[in-house]
C-alpha cells in the first residue's frame, strides 16, 4: 500500500512539474512575441490585459451553478 501511495505521489509531482514547465514555456513564448511588437502595440496589449480579469469567470462559479442545478432537480 505504501509503495502504491509513493508511486501515486511521484506521478502527481511529475505531472505538476510538467504542467509548470508547459506554463513557463508558454509565458516565454508570449514574452518573445511581445518583443516583436512596437511600443504602442505593447502598451495597447498591456492595457487590455490589465482589465482581462473582468471577463473571466470567478473561481468556483461552475461548482456553484452545478450545486444550484442539483438542488433545483431535487425539488422537482
pTM for the model stands at: 0.52
CA distances, 67 to each of 15, 57, 60, 64, 75 (Å): 29, 16, 11, 5, 13
Chain segment 7-52, per-residue pLDDT in tens: 999 999 999 999 999 999 999 998 999 899 899 999 998 888 888 8
Amino acid at each position: 500500500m505504501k509503495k502504491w501511495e509513493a508511486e501515486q505521489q511521484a506521478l502527481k509531482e511529475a505531472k505538476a512539474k510538467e504542467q509548470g514547465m508547459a506554463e513557463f514555456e508558454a509565458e516565454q513564448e508570449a514574452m518573445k512575441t511581445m518583443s516583436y511588437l512596437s511600443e504602442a502595440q505593447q502598451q495597447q496589449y498591456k492595457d487590455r490585459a490589465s482589465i482581462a480579469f473582468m471577463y473571466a469567470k470567478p473561481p468556483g462559479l461552475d461548482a456553484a451553478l452545478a450545486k444550484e442545478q442539483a438542488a433545483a432537480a431535487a425539488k422537482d
